[in-house]
Amino acid sequence: MSLDGQQVAPVAVQNSKFSKQFKLLKPAEFDKVFAGSSKVGGPGFTLFFIKNELSSARLGLSVPKRAFTRAVDRNHIKRLVRESFRQNREALPHFDVIFLARKGVLDKSSNVLSGSLQRAWQRLQDYA
């Protein structure tokens, strides 16, 4: 970018990455959330969550191949959910959250899914 002929570097947004510290990676972590969790639902998805002892929320994704046979569909859903989580992570309570996609999630447009996720994140804040 240039401003009056001067080169200006883009401003990096702090904490804008979705790094490993914000992900549920191990099967034991998923099992713990599924075993002792509460649920929040939306059209085509369910969020399972449990309080964690860390300094931030973490996200796990479950988009079953049985329900979404095309990899491009699974990846699209995961991309939308990760982006929504990344944008709302700072406002979320310290929960481990698993997004479980159900078959109807692709019947909605990306904007509808984003709005539904936004409402689900708000509902999570009510549980804090």
Q: Which of 114, 122, 118, 124 minimizes the C-alpha distance to 94?
A: 124
Query: pLDDT, tens digit, for every residue of 21-31?
Result: 899 999 999 99
Q: Which residue range(s) make up the domain with 48?
A: 15-126
The predicted model scores a pTM of 0.84
Indicate whether 82 belongs to any domain: yes
**CATH for 77:** 3.30.230.10
Tell me the torsion sign for CA atoms 14, 25, 51, 75.
positive
User: If pLDDT is split at 50, 70 and 90, which confidence band does 1 have?
Assistant: very low
pLDDT digits (tens, 9 = 90+) for 47-103: 999 999 998 999 999 999 999 999 999 999 999 999 999 999 999 999 999 999 999
Task: Write b or e for each residue in 50-73: b if 16 or more Cβ atoms lie within 10 A of its Cβ, otherwise e.
Answer: bebeeeebbbbbebeeebbeeeee
Closest CA to 59 of 12, 101, 25: 25
Q: Is residue 92 part of a domain?
A: yes
